């Protein structure tokens, strides 16, 4: 079955690369670092290279300005100097990268002689990682994960020589796991979640997914329900550790940006619609216009689309409705005030989600009005914000139910319900504050998953 899977990958590869190029029209990052996606690296930057070679490669890359060479040179700096042991963490996109922050920080603290290679699949994930982990300097470098073909994954492993592979949340790649097994690299699925829908999809893949599951050395699951579903696939060692996302620390810098943004907005009540997906903005804008009479007269609607390639599209959508829109990227945060006529603020920046949550009064978490599974509600809860969530939250089912039970979140049936609930909360200071306190208490109660996950790893990475 895996041979057939690999053949299909080879046949599809030209189409995959063509799609990558086309996506690059809206998001240029998709046209960069292609060598990494195919598992190609400069020979001079192999993991056995000495620090001098690594330094020379970095200097050459800075001079040349080439994306491909730059990626390889950065990798050299990470794995070449002094032969530092390498821990491999894979975070596919933005959400997984942000969730990985506590674990990455803890790994580098727990294993001070080690370095981390952090891989992604999307440019937004890579950009998020760059912003989050610049503090670690040369101890962490980034690369795209090679496509799931044995030869490409093998080149990656030979080059970086990782001691362990830690996949975040739901990333299971059959060839990657098989090659790691052949090369003696234990595979850990951390912060793992597996919905009933995903389990059914895995079951349809038969032996391909079952063999991959059996190749995983350890699964650190978010909930007991996730753990039971993972065990049904044949994974031998599964532990329940909770969600690492509860351990994310809000930085002073993020809070400072949030405070500056709030100062620019002024005293107006702010309804944030965060991580919205395609189709949701239309519903939100329509309901916002229809229900304006019930909302505070000076309310500001702050919309942050999940995917940056849609920023321009959403701005045009807002303007087409005759609404006055401002973009975060055009908003000065140096003491200037946003014009009072602005009805909608478009959050078009990367790495500022905590700032947006900090600046709002009520937060709606997107991906949940339509059957998309929802997004992470832990971040606004951790900041003590009342959270509204739509009917479709199967990707975060237990976390959502726990937040609802704790009184820190409220489920709405549709966009009209969203506006109705927002109107009530924005008009009732005491109810809003109580719900925010409940949300923060809920988030604080669930901390500790990073520590529990880290305690499971020493047996797998004894060499570090």
For 19-60, how does the pLDDT look when each residue is reduced to its tens digit (9 = 90+)?
999 999 888 999 999 999 999 987 543 443 333 333 333 333
According to DSSP, residue 239 is labeled E
Query: What percent of the chain clears pLDDT 70, i.e. is strictly above it?
Result: 90
Q: Hey, which bits of 310-445 come out as E strands?
A: 325-327, 344-346, 362-365, 387-389, 409-411
* Mean local confidence (pLDDT), 269-274: 98
Three-class secondary structure of residue 373 per DSSP: coil
pTM of the model: 0.82
CATH class for the region spanning 2-242+449-455: alpha beta
What Rg do the C-alpha atoms of the chain give, in angstroms? 23
The phi, psi pair for 274, rounded to 5°, reads -100, 145
All CATH 3.40.50.11720 domain ranges in the chain, comma separated: 2-242+449-455
pLDDT(247) > 80: yes
101 is catalytic: no
pLDDT of 71 > 70? The answer is no
Count CA atoms within 13 Å of residue 48 on its CB side: 2
Q: What is the mean pLDDT of residues 119-142?
A: 94
Dist CA 381 CA 289 (whole Å): 27
CB 127 within 8 A of CB 95: no
Active-site annotation holder among 27, 36, 96, 196 = 96
Q: What is 252-445's CATH topology?
A: Rossmann fold (3.40.50)
Strand (E) or helix (H) holding 15: helix 2-23
Are β-strands 218-221 and 115-120 bridged in parallel, bridged antiparallel, or unpaired?
unpaired
Mean pLDDT of 319-325: 97
**Which residues touch 230 (CB under 8 Å, ≥6 apart)?**
189, 192, 194, 213, 219, 221, 238
Of 49-63, 231-245, 343-357, 383-397, minimum mean pLDDT range: 49-63
Per-residue pLDDT reduced to its tens digit, 418-461: 999 999 999 999 999 999 999 999 999 999 999 999 999 998 98
167 pairs with which residues across the strands?
A: 90, 189
Say yes or no to pLDDT of 72 above 70.
no
Of the pLDDT bands very low, low, confident and very high (cuts 50, 70, 90), residue 68 is: very low
- Element counts in the chain: helices (H) and strands (E): 20, 14
Percent of the chain residues past pLDDT 90, beyond the cut: 78
Gap between the Cα atoms of 22 and 16, Å rounded: 10
**Residue spans in the chain of domains classed CATH 3.40.50.2000:** 252-445
Is residue 267 within 8 A of residue 300, CB to CB? The reply is no
Question: What pLDDT, on a 0 to 100 scale, did the predictor assign at position 347?
Answer: 97
pLDDT of 57 reads 33
């Amino acid at each position: 079955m895996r041979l057939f899977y690999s053949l299909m990958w080879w046949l599809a590869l030209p189409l995959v690369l063509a799609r990558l190029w086309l996506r690059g029209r809206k998001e240029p990052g998709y046209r960069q670092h292609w060598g990494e996606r195919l598992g190609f690296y400069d020979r001079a930057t192999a993991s056995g290279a000495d620090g001098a070679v690594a330094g020379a490669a970095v200097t050459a890359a800075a001079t040349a300005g080439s994306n491909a060479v730059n990626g390889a040179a950065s990798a050299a700096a990470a794995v070449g100097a002094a032969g530092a042991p390498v821990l491999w963490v894979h975070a596919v996109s933005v959400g997984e990268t942000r969730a990985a922050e506590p674990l990455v920080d803890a790994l580098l603290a727990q294993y001070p002689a080690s370095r981390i290679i952090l891989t992604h699949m999307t440019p937004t994930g890579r950009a998020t990682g760059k912003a989050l982990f610049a503090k670690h300097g040369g101890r962490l470098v980034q690369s795209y994960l090679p496509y799931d073909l044995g030869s490409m994954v093998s080149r990656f492993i030979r080059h970086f020589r990782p001691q362990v592979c830690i996949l975040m949340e739901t990333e299971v790649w059959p060839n990657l796991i098989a090659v790691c097994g052949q090369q003696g690299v234990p595979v850990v699925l951390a912060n793992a979640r597996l919905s009933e829908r995903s389990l059914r999809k895995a079951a349809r893949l038969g032996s391909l997914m079952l063999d991959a599951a059996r190749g995983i050395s350890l699964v650190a699951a978010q909930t007991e329900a996730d753990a039971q579903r993972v065990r049904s696939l044949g994974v031998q060692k599964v532990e329940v550790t909770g969600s690492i996302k509860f351990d994310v620390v809000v930085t002073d810098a993020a809070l400072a940006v949030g405070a500056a943004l709030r100062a620019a907005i002024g005293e107006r009540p702010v309804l944030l619609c965060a991580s919205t997906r395609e189709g949701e903005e239309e519903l939100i804008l329509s309901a916002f216009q229809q229900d304006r009479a019930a909302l505070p007269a000076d309310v500001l609607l702050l919309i942050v689309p999940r995917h940056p390639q849609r920023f321009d599209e959403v701005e045009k959508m807002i303007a087409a409705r005759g609404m006055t829109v401002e973009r975060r990227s055009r908003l000065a945060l140096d003491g200037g005030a946003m014009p009072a006529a602005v009805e909608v603020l478009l959050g078009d920046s990367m790495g500022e989600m905590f700032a947006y949550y900090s600046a709002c009064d009520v937060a709606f978490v997107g991906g949940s009005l339509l059957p998309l599974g929802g997004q992470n509600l832990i971040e606004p809860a951790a900041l003590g914000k009342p959270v509204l969530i739509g009917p479709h939250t199967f990707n975060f089912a237990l976390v959502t139910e726990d937040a609802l039970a704790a009184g820190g979140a409220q489920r709405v049936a549709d966009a009209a319900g969203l506006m109705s609930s927002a109107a009530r909360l924005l008009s009732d200071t005491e109810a809003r504050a109580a719900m925010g306190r409940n949300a923060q208490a809920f988030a604080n109660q669930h901390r500790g998953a990073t520590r529990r996950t880290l305690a499971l790893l020493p047996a797998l990475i004894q060499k570090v």
